[in-house]
Structures are given as structure tokens and as C-alpha cells.
Structure 1
Amino acid sequence: MARSTFDEAEWYDKNSPTQFKDGLRLIKLADPQKGDKVLDFGCGTGNLTTHFSELVGPEGKVIGVDPDGERLALARKTYSASNLEYVQGSANEVPGGDYDIIFSNHAMHYCPDKNATLKTLASKMKKGGKLVYIICVEDQVKVFADNMPGLFGKKFRDTWAAYYHYTSSEDYKRYTIANNFSIDHSEIIVCRYDYKNVEEMVEFRKTHIRGEYDDSEFNLEAMRRAYGEEPFHHNYDYLLVKATYTG
């Protein structure tokens, strides 16, 4: 059994440009103001959370929540501020309340029950508060998953299926409205993931599904046949939403 030796949290922090770029776009859409109280739901290593702490100023408050303790440890070490707090939690354990903004970038597709998650987030918001999120939609999984049988072992594929919980863009919007949000803006955006080679794709996937994998789980020879030796990319459709909590 060959266990991954790289630091997953550090690798993720430095090698997730797509999420970071999309997150900056989402922050602009959220339009935080001085003094706002913000929740970053699924904050990861905090490289976006810290932007909110700067925008809301010392009179504001930002809480980043994530279930991954290693990523939170890196966040506290690397992206700290006096008005910023990192808390380990999940869709069922959301800290604080009375938020002006709840921000979730590339995170809610990890939550098994989207309706329950949105209900919880709604209970944490001020009336008139803003919810902004980017989330992968169901049909785009096929772009990657259709190639899985020949490229990845069964253990990895089973873990992938258990770890991600995708649904359609219409269901995401329906759940949002059902939990007393009024949708102000929604659009499908194309998120492009660039890889230098197949090894980099494997490393990227390891950071998104935690666990231990035998070398046989990653068929590099088959990947090279599928993608070649040159840099390549995958495109996925994501749903971007801005909504107001109506209470």
C-alpha cells in the first residue's frame, strides 16, 4: 500500500487557481461592506476568506468554516487577521448566526442533502442578507467520470461516488427558493481546470478526496493514452447564484 506523501492542504492551497479565480468573482458579486458579518462556508485553506476580512474592515467579522482540520490549520497559520476566525464544522454544524453574507465557493456539492444545508444556512442569516455560491451541476460529472473505469481503480471510484453529491441546476435553485431566498442572479459558468500532465491531475484529485490509495488506483499508462504527454484541460459547468434572504 503506497500512501500519498505530499501535504494535501498545502498542495490544494497552491494549486487550485480555478477555485480561487471563481471565488474572487463571487466575492465581487457579494459586494461586502465595512462592518458586515460574513460566513465562508467551506473555506478550505482560507485564501479567499482573508479577502473578506480586508473588505469588511476591523468593525466587521468573518468566520470560515470547514470540516478539514488540516486545511484549517494551514488557514490559521497563513491567512490570519484580527477580525477573522476559523472553525471546524460541517453542513450540520454551522457556527454563529445573524450573517450579512454567506459565501460558498465550490463547496456545497459535498453536502448530501442540499435542501437541508440551505435550510441551515437560511437560519443563520439576517433578513435581507445575501447568499452567494458556485456549485458543480450534475451532468458535468460525466466529463470526468465517463473515463474513470479505465483510469482509476474501484476503490477510488467508489470513494468519488460517495464523496460528491451532485444535482441539477434547477434543483439547486428550487431548494434555494424553498428556503426563503429570492434569487437575484443566476448563471451557468464554465470552470476550466488546466493540468501540466496526468500526474498533476492525479495530485489534484487526491486533494479533493481524502484517503489512502494503492498505486494501482491510478492507471498512469491509460491516462497518458487518453490525454497524451502535453498539458490538457477539463471544462465543467458550474451554477453561480446570488440570492437575498427574505425571512
Structure 2
Amino acid sequence: MNLLEQAESDGDTFHEHSDVHFQMSCDLMNEYLKPQRGESILDFGCATGRPAVELASRVGKSGRVVGVDIDERRIALARAELIRLHSSHVPLTFVQGSIKEAMRLGPFDGTLSNMVFQWIKPVDRSIIMKDIYSSLKPGGRFVFLVFPTQTQDRFIFKDILSLLSPSGSLGSVWGIYLESVSTWLQLCTDVGFDIEMSDVKMVEGEEPTVEDLVALVEAAVPAFKSYMLSEKDVERLKQLYRSGSHEKIRYQCRVFTVLARKPL
């Protein structure tokens, strides 16, 4: 399974700019997953572990949370945070690797996956989806959020990354594989999931400067580093987002959320 294994990663950068990811994960817990005391939950693509820690607080000492991520540095940061929280009192385990390693610690009542599947090559997705399905208990639920095909003019990943590869697709160059809503749903139903809820909405955020916006994209895209942009590129982005007057800049992106359930 190749989940950007060849790409450079900077877990520290991700952790520093993970507030947006964390808030989105909490929204997924509140609105869709709704973890309960005593449940066993898998956080697939847990990054530096902030959402998994929150999940652990919700399932309590009688429950269990397993966070898995392929990125070694991000898992190292997650484990360091676990030590700081006194791991013997936290029902939380972090696993570095693929979902195959995490499945051994199942079965799970629920799985959360925030902004992960668009990084997985289409050829690998059905295999991973089958593994998630297999790792759940009957009646178990799977909540995931992805980027669908973007239709708005402003899409921060496209705006920034196309400065470096104007003729290349986000998938072939940067490993961001956007799909239509129907494709994401089909991926679930093909392995046996029932779809309970699905929703497309626009997420808005703001950063103090364009430089902070670039750092946010650097945190999300393993193969991208901010030093790749020239001063001219940065100036172009400033004009694009109208941040020259030192106003906070706003950005938008369309996201798609699914609540699927394994039949009883």
C-alpha cells in the first residue's frame, strides 16, 4: 500500500498548524460519530494525535481508542503527547503503519477518518475500505471527511500548488486525488456499507497572512515545502487573496462528509 511513502513529511509543521484539522475532527465527533463511553474507536490517519486524545476522553477508561498513521514523525509526536498525558490512565494506543496493523487491535464500534482518503491512490482505496469494513463490529459506524471535486473558483491547494506545476494535476504531482460525491459514496456501498448520512458543505477559515496560509498547505501536503515558492509566487498569492493591507485573509474549500454503517 503506498500512502505517499516516498514523500517527505514534517510532523512538527502539521502539529503547529493542526487547529483547523482538530476542529473539523471534533465537529465530526459531535455531529456524526457520537462516541459513547466504553466504545472502541479507530482514528484512521490520526496524524499527531490531537483528535484521538479527544476521542479517548469521550469513550472513557472503559473504552479504547487506536490511532494509526503511516507517517513515522507524526506518530512519534502523538506518542510523546501520550506520555505527557500519563498513558497508563488514557485508553489510547498509537500505531505507525497501515490499517492492517491497527486491525489487530479491533474490532471497533466506530472509525473516524478526517481528510485522509483523498491522499490514497484510487487503486488502493477499495482495499483499505474493505479493511475498515472488516475491522468494525456489526452495526459499527464509519465517519469520514474528504475533498470532493472542487467547483468553486478559489481552492487553496490548487491556487498554491499550481504555481509550481501549472500544467500538472493535483493527483499526479502532489498526491491529492479528488473525486465526485457519487464516487466516494460508491466506494462505501461497494464493500457493503449502508449510507446513513452524507453532506457537502463549504468550510471557511482565515489566516493572518499569506505566509501563514502557505504554511497551512505545507502542513497538509507532505511533498510541498514553502521554500519551493519564489518571492514572485508569494506576491501573486497576496494579490489573489488581497492581503496586502495586512487584513486577515479568508479561504474556502468544499468538503464531503459521510456516515456509513456496517449492517447488523
For the superposition of Structure 1 and Structure 2, which TM-score range results when normalised by the shorter chain? 0.7 to 0.9
Q: Does 1:112 align with 2:121?
A: yes
Identify the residue that residue 41 of structure 1 maps to in structure 2.
Answer: 44
Asked if the contact 1:137–1:238 (Cα under 8 Å) also holds between the matched residues in 2, the reply is: yes
Q: CA deviation at 1:183?
A: 0.9
1:136-189 deviations in Å (ceiling 9; x for gaps): 11225862355357x73239x678634211111111111111111111111112
Distance 1:147 1:19 in 2: 20
Q: Where in structure 2 are there 5+ consecutive unaligned residues?
A: 1-8
Moved more, 89-98 or 65-74: 89-98
Take 2:225 and 2:50, find their aligned partners in 1: how far apart are those partners? 28
Alpha-carbon shift at residue 196 of structure 1 (Å): 1.2
CA contact (8 A) 2:174 2:221 kept: no
Pair 140,22 (structure 1): closer, same or farther in 2 beyond 3 Å: farther
Amino acid at match of 1:137: P
The answer to whether structure 1 residue 234 and structure 2 residue 236 are counterparts is no
Aligned mates of 1:102, 1:236 — CA distance in 2? 24
Counterpart in the other structure of 1:134? 145
Q: Distance in 2 between matches of 1:52 and 1:148?
A: 33
Identify unmatched segments of 5+ residues in structure 1: 1-6
Match of 1:170 among 155, 160, 182: 182
- Structure 1: which amino acid aligns with 2:50? N
**Residue of structure 1 equivalent to 2:69:** 66
Q: Is the 8 A contact 1:111 1:117 kept in 2?
A: no
**CA-to-partner distance for each residue in 1:39-86, whole Å, 9 max, x for gaps?**
100111111101111111222111100111111111111245431110
CA contact (8 A) 2:68 2:99 kept: no
Deviations 1:173-229 (A, max 9, x none): 111111111111111122123121111112112112224758453421222222232
Post-superposition Cα deviations, 1:8-45, rounded to whole Å, max 9, x if no partner, equal 42332232332222211111221212221111001111
Q: How does 1:196-207 map to 2 (within 5 A)?
A: 196-207=208-219
Deviation larger for 16-25 or 49-58? 16-25
Aligned to 2:11: 9
Aligned partners of 1:19, 1:214: CA distance in 2, in Å? 19
**Secondary structure of 1:193's match?**
strand
